[in-house]
Amino acid sequence: MNWKGTMQRAAKALMVPIVVMPVAALLLAIGEFGPDFFTAAGNAIIIDFLPLLFAVGVAIGFTDSDGMAAFAAVTGHLVLQAVMSAVNPGMTLASGEFQPNDMSILGGIIVGAYTAALYWRFRNIRFPEFLGFFSGKRFVPIITALVSVVAGVVFGYLWPPVNNVILAAGDWVFSTGGPGALSTGCLTACSFPRGCITSCRACCSTSLAVLTPAARWLPGR
C-alpha cells in the first residue's frame, strides 16, 4: 500500500468515532432544556472519553474491525494515561487553570496506530504449550500494555513542552480571527489533493479545540 492509500485508510479510521457525534449533540441539546444527566451523557462522548473512542476507532480501522485489537487499544490507552499522570501530573497555566498531562485526541490516535501495528505483528505468535493460552491474538493486549508503559514514560516528559506549543497555536487561531481561519483553511486545502483532508480536519478540529481554553463553550466546561 502506497502512502496515499495509507493516509486515506487513516482518514477512514479517524472517521469511525464521528458516528457517535450526532447522538452526543442531541444529548447536549436536550440537556440544555431537560435533566442534567443528558448533558453529562453528551459530555462523556465529546469530552471525557473522546480520546478513548479515537484509540478504538483507529485500531479497528486498521485491523478490519477486529475485536481483540479494540480491546488492546482500550488497555493501551488506559495504561498510557495512567503512566503519563504518574510521571508528570500536569502544569498550571498563566490563567491559574490546571492542565493535566493528557495528550487528548492525539494520544488516542497514537495508541490506536501502534495497537494496529502490534496486532499485525503478533496476531499469529505461538508460545510453548504451557503458555499456549497467551498465543495468537491474546498476546496483543499484553504487548500493547507493555508498549504503552514505555510510551507513557517517554510522553510523560516530552508532552508538556509540546502541549505549550499546541496551546499557543490554538490561542493564536482563535484570537486572531481572520488570519487564524485563513491558515487553517489553507492547511485543509493543501491536504485535499493528497487525500489527507479528513486527517487534517480531524487534527485541527479536535486537538486545537480540546486542548485550548477556547473550548469552554461546550456545556459543562
d(CA 46, CA 143): 29
- Digit-coded pLDDT (tens) for 74-89: 999 999 999 999 998 8
pLDDT means over runs of 10, the chain (221 residues): 72 82 90 89 88 92 90 96 92 77 89 94 90 90 97 93 80 72 68 48 48 41 40
- Residue positions counted in the chain: 221
- Digit-coded pLDDT (tens) for 49-78: 989 999 999 999 889 889 999 999 999 999
- pTM, to two decimals: 0.77
d(CA 56, CA 39): 23
Domain ranges in the chain are 3-82+91-158
Which residue is listed with cell 491559574?
96
d(CA 28, CA 218): 9
d(CA 33, CA 37): 11
